[in-house]
Amino acid sequence: MKHLLLILFLVFSLGADCLAQQKQPVDYADPLMGTSESRWMLNPGSTLPFGMVQLCPDNQAQNWKAGYEYTIGSIFGFSHIHAWTMAGLSVMPTEGMLNPHIYPHADVPISTGSTSGHRSRINKSTEKASPGYYAADLVDFDIKTELTSTTRCGFFRFTFPETNEGHMLFNLLFPQEYETELIDAKITKLNNTEIEGYSQQASGGFNDYTVHFVIRFNKPFKAFGGWEEENIQQNISEIGGKGDVGAYVDFKTEQNEQILMQTAISLVSIEQARLNLQKELIKPFGWNFDAVSENARTIWNNLLSKIEVEGGSETDKKKFYTNLYRSYVARAIWSDVNGKYRDPCEEVKTLEDPDSPMYGCDAFWNTFWNLNQLWTLVNPEIASKWVKSLLQMYDDGGWLAKGPAGIEYSSIMVASHAIPLIVSAYQKGIRDFDVEKAWEAILHQQTVPGHDYECGGAVGNMQLEPYMKLGYVPTESVYVSNTLEYAYDDWCVSQFAKALNKSEEYEIFSKRAHYYQNMFDSETKFMRPKHENGRWREEFDPLSSPRNEFVEGNSWQYTFFVPHDVKGLVKLIGKENFNNRLNQGFENSEKADFNATGDRFGAHYINHGNQPNMQAAYLFNYTGKPWLTQKWARAIMESYYGSTTLHGWLGDEDEGQMGAWFVMSAMGLFQTNGGASVKPFYETGSPLFEKVTIHLDPQYYPGKTFVVKAKHASPQNKYIQSATLNGEKLSKPWFFHDELVNGGELVFIMGDKPNKEWGSGSDDAPPSMSDLNTSNK
């Protein structure tokens, strides 16, 4: 009997191991993870990398972090666009009495035939999500809903009950994260299987755009109708107006009959939407829903497989690949299959290369600590396309964009951190773009003060004039912390100038890169607000600052914001004071999982749930205590990041930034200065897996693979004992980018106690601007 039990145990264990080995990276990515308290752009819906279409269930009222909330057990529709400040075309299948109104409360049971609206409870046990696929059963209508998508098209499969009153509702005005005004809309019946329309809308105070759409069914509908506000019209061929406008079609169905619906959108025209549909769905797939879903799965798996991880727990792998997935899921393509798009003044333009599209997003605010690093390392072709998109917008509108949502000048957030992306791409050998145009655009951005833009929104750096005049942004201007943000961008410009042999500009911007020193108070040892007359603001508390002084943070956090000259900052503060203050900040913040609860940014120390100090753990590499970098980087990975629907990312997972940080840190790599130096380098942290293989893109990098091994890595063994790079001893906590992309192997020996000798020598710290002895005179 004992032998039998042993055999059964071995068979079960081997079977479990084989099952784990058979799983693909895409199988670990869970779109439902972290969907409680998440942003509009981070949802469980179906999309492709940077998809224009992000088909997602919505169930919340209009508010910050609206969209989908996992803990709400109902849905009012599935909408097509989930981009920052942007939404469009919500679809909802119903059965029974027609009611176009969205029921305002989340979880009140709805009986078919009621007058309370068309929200339906969902059977949570049937809710499924994987990259490129979502499904849930609508309890109140007995309809199974499945979604999949291509880049610009949606594909729905609805399984209906037997009914004479099946409906498909199309809402053009519905709750989303930002309040939206519907300016004009029209929906037209073309025949009994096709409709088309548009919705002109405005949101965010700057974004005026039109969603054009086409919709087709595999089965003829019985009737077409619509509504404008309270006026419901039946048996019509067209509906239009402004405000609450929508349409519906009616079906008679048999039990378990499937109705297929295909959609496509475009910001250019209805004709372009129809072209997107033809090219992405009709021609390659016809009505084969499963083929489209499998295509989405393959695309995602190919992308995720560029990094392979071995060892670690199944939970670690789920966190790794879901965070990698999130790094490509929230920002959006806004040009069509043939390269047509609308520029910031709504003029129709055509790209020379449609495969290098126009992108839109929220800000690039501090993406140099996450997305920039990941894209330039693992997907240099994507980094190249982003640079080309930014330069095309500069061609069209005369400025680089900060957050080109809908290809508009949003002026969201501060500084011009598209610059670090462009410069880091160039420094890493990604140079298949117009380099002189890039230099022209960057120089313009950092020398011409910002202002309102003629076609809406605003451009440039609003506090650039006092910054250039005084060498800092005074309290009389909004956001004194811009001194630090501008100085970092200036350093990036200096490095670009140096790489391009522009010596005069190199000297000018190197001097400006030192302006961070003008904000440092030698008495308090903090970055302190200063008046125009040069006097410090008298009332000062590093942990409590007026909201208009430090952007979503405080002086304590921003004092560490000198990415390009950490050594210079350490010298100003004093190494012992620097280390003690930063370590105590981590110890205080660990109690709150390194997140500013309630978005109280200015009252916390380390706030990983927002951008201003995501580099904090890696600063110990510069101060002779790299074991504290290893300790705190691993602590953030373990406690800030979760693996459930309720705990994925605390705070604001802003379009993949927190996701990309996790991916880089789990590989044991980071770039405090954003990789913008003439000779970029990586700093080391605490690798999470025993082995990570990065498949390098041969179009840009000569090495085939780069492997990071962390022998004996475990939750306890988080400390580096020793390291080798390509067989040679590595005694410093950093190495050059060229050494990585030429291929090879980085091997760490990990242990459960810090090796305080490794990487702690006086000459072991990574390079900083101060190493160049560039004066501020």
Instruction: Encode pLDDT of 182-220 as tens digits.
Output: 999 999 999 999 999 999 999 998 999 999 999 999 999
> What is each CA distance from 426 to 549, 657, 723, in whole angstroms?
33, 21, 29
Alpha helix locations (H) across 371-415? 371-378, 380-397
Residue 614 domain-assigned?
Answer: no
**420 plus 482 within the same structural domain:** no
**Each residue's pLDDT tens digit, 675-689:** 999 999 999 999 999
- Domain boundary residue among 416, 442, 459? 459
What is the C-alpha to C-alpha distance for residues 460 and 688, in angstroms, rounded to an integer?
A: 40
How far apart CA 118 and CA 95 sit, in angstroms, is 9
Count of beta carbons in the 10 Å neighbourhood of residue 68: 25
Place of tokens 């190919």: 302
User: What one-character DSSP code corresponds to residue 769?
Assistant: G
Say whether pLDDT at 446 is over 70.
yes
Q: Using an 8 Å Cβ cutoff, are 79 and 172 in contact?
A: no
Q: Is 314 within the bounds of a domain? A: no
3-state secondary structure of 259: strand
The helix (run of H) or strand (run of E) holding residue 458 is strand 458-459
| 409 and 543 both lie in a single domain | no
Q: Span 86-93, mean pLDDT?
A: 97
Q: Among residues 537, 559, 581, which one ends one of the domains?
A: 559
User: Same domain, yes or no, for 529 and 401?
Assistant: no
Indicate if 382 and 279 belong to the same structural domain: no
Examine the pLDDT at 2 and tell me if it is beyond 70.
no
Closest CA to 608 of 662, 570, 572: 662
Phi first, then psi: give them for residue 594, nearest 5 degrees.
60, 35
Query: Does any domain span residue 710?
Result: no
Residues 59 and 175 in one domain: yes
The tens digit of pLDDT for each residue in 598-615 reads 878 878 899 999 999 999
Q: Are residues 455 and 533 in the same domain?
A: no
With 0-12 / 13-18 / 19 or more C-beta atoms within 10 angstroms meaning exposed / middle / buried, residue 3 is exposed
> In this structure, is residue 385 part of a structural domain?
yes
Q: How many CB atoms lie within 10 A of CB 728?
A: 10
Per-residue confidence (pLDDT) for residue 603, from 0 to 100: 82
Residue 518, number of CB atoms within 10 A of its CB: 17
Is residue 513 located within the same domain as residue 450? no
CATH code of 33's domain? 2.70.98.10
Residues 6+ apart with CB under 8 A from 633: 617, 618, 665, 670, 685, 686
537 shares a domain with 449? no
- As given in the structure block, the two tokens for residue 81 are 């666009």
pLDDT of residue 601: 82
Of 440, 459, 478, the position where a domain reaches its end is: 459
For the segment 646-670, the average pLDDT, to the nearest whole number, is 95
From CA 686, how far away is CA 674, in angstroms rounded?
Answer: 19
Residues 389, 260: Cα–Cα separation, whole Å: 35
DSSP assigned state of 535: P
Q: Over the stretch 109-162, which tens digit does the pLDDT of each residue have?
A: 444 334 468 999 999 999 999 999 999 999 999 999 999 999 999 999 999 999
Counting runs of H as helices and runs of E as strands, what totals does the chain give?
19, 34
Per-residue buried b or exposed e for 683-715, using 16+ beta carbons within 10 Å of the residue's own CB = bbbbbbbbbbbbebbeebbebeebebbbeebee
Q: What is residue 600's predicted lDDT score, i.e. its pLDDT?
A: 82
Name the CA dihedral angle for 545, 549, 552, 556, rounded to a multiple of 10 degrees.
-50
Dihedral of alpha carbons 551, 556, 560, 562, sign: positive
pLDDT at 777: 29
Cα gap 528→45, rounded to integer Å? 44
Query: Residue 200: left if φ>0, alpha if ψ -120 to 50, beta else—which one?
Result: beta
Q: Is 422 exposed, middle or buried (0-12, 13-18, 19+ CB in 10 A)?
A: buried
528 vs 4 pLDDT, higher one:
528
As given in the structure block, the two tokens for residue 377 are 């390392």
Taking 3-state DSSP, the helix, strand and coil percentages for the chain, each rounded to the nearest 5, stand at 30, 25, 45
pLDDT at 685: 98
- Average pLDDT rounded to a whole number, residues 318-332: 97
Question: How far is it, in rounded angstroms, from Cα 723 to Cα 751?
Answer: 12
| CA angle 73–75–79, rounded 5-degree value | 145
The CB density around residue 720, as the number of other CB atoms within 10 Å, is: 27
Using only C-alpha atoms, the chain has a radius of gyration, in whole angstroms, of 27
Instruction: Give the separation between CA 405 and CA 411, rounded to whole angstroms.
Output: 10
Contact 56, 67 (CB under 8 A): yes
Claim to verify: residue 105 and residue 183 sit in the same structural domain:
yes
Q: What does the alpha-carbon distance between residue 107 and residue 72 come to, in Å, rounded to a whole number?
A: 7
> How high is the pLDDT of residue 99?
87
> Phi and psi at residue 321, in whole multiples of 5°?
-75, -25
Whether 531 maps to a domain, the answer reads yes
Lowest mean pLDDT segment, chosen from 37-41, 335-339, 669-673: 37-41
* Structure token digits, residue 1: 């009997």
Distance CA 158, CA 372 (A): 40
Q: What whole-number distance in Å separates Cα of residue 218 and Cα of residue 194?
A: 9
For residues 594 and 607, the answer to whether their CB atoms sit within 8 Å is: yes
Residue 642 CB neighbours (<10 A): 17
CA distance 751 to 134: 42
Q: Is 221 helix (H, G, I), strand (E, B) or coil?
A: coil
**Residue in the block written with tokens 């392979």:** 308
Question: How many Å apart are CA 530 and CA 414, to the nearest integer?
Answer: 19
| Mean of the per-residue pLDDT values of the chain | 94
Q: What is the CATH number of the domain that holds 412?
A: 1.20.1050.60
Convert the pLDDT of each residue in 622-643 to its tens digit: 999 999 999 999 999 999 999 9
Looking at the structure, tell me whether residues 176 and 152 fall in a common domain: yes
Structure tokens at 754: 């810090």
Per-residue pLDDT band for 654 (boundaries 50, 70, 90) equals confident
Name the more confident of 102 and 558: 558
Residue 498: in which H helix or E strand, if any?
Answer: helix 482-499
Unique residue bearing structure tokens 């009950």: 161
Tokens of residue 111, six digits: 């009986």
164 in any annotated domain: yes
For the segment 355-380, the average pLDDT, to the nearest whole number, is 97
- Whether residue 437 sits in one domain with residue 296: no
What are the residues whose beta carbons fall under 8 Å from the beta carbon of 399, sequence distance 6 or more? 393, 409, 441, 444, 445, 453, 459, 460
Q: How far is CA 135 from the centre of its chain?
A: 24
Is 763 exposed, middle or buried, given 0-12, 13-18 or 19+ CB atoms closer than 10 A? Answer: exposed
Is the pTM higher than 0.85? yes
Band (770; pLDDT cuts 50, 70, 90):
very high
Cα 358-362-366 angle, rounded to 5 deg? 110
Residue 150: inside a domain, yes or no? Answer: yes
Number of domains forming the structure of the chain: 3
Both tokens assigned to 157: 């499969």
- CATH number at 480 reads 1.20.1610.10
d(CA 574, CA 571): 5
pLDDT value, residue 116: 62
**Could you tell me where the beta strands, DSSP code E, fall in 640-771?**
669-670, 681-684, 691-695, 705-711, 719-725, 728-729, 734-736, 744-751
Q: Decide if 261 contacts 217 (C-beta within 8 A).
A: yes
Residue 297 in any domain: the answer is yes
Domain membership of residue 543 as a residue range: 463-559
**Do residues 481 and 551 lie in contact, with contact meaning Cβ atoms separated by under 8 Å?**
yes
Together in a domain, 218 and 359: no
Q: Are 198 and 212 in contact (CB under 8 A)?
A: yes
Tokens found for residue 149: 């998508």
Q: Which residue has the tokens 């990071």?
A: 708
Per-residue model confidence (pLDDT) at position 163 = 97
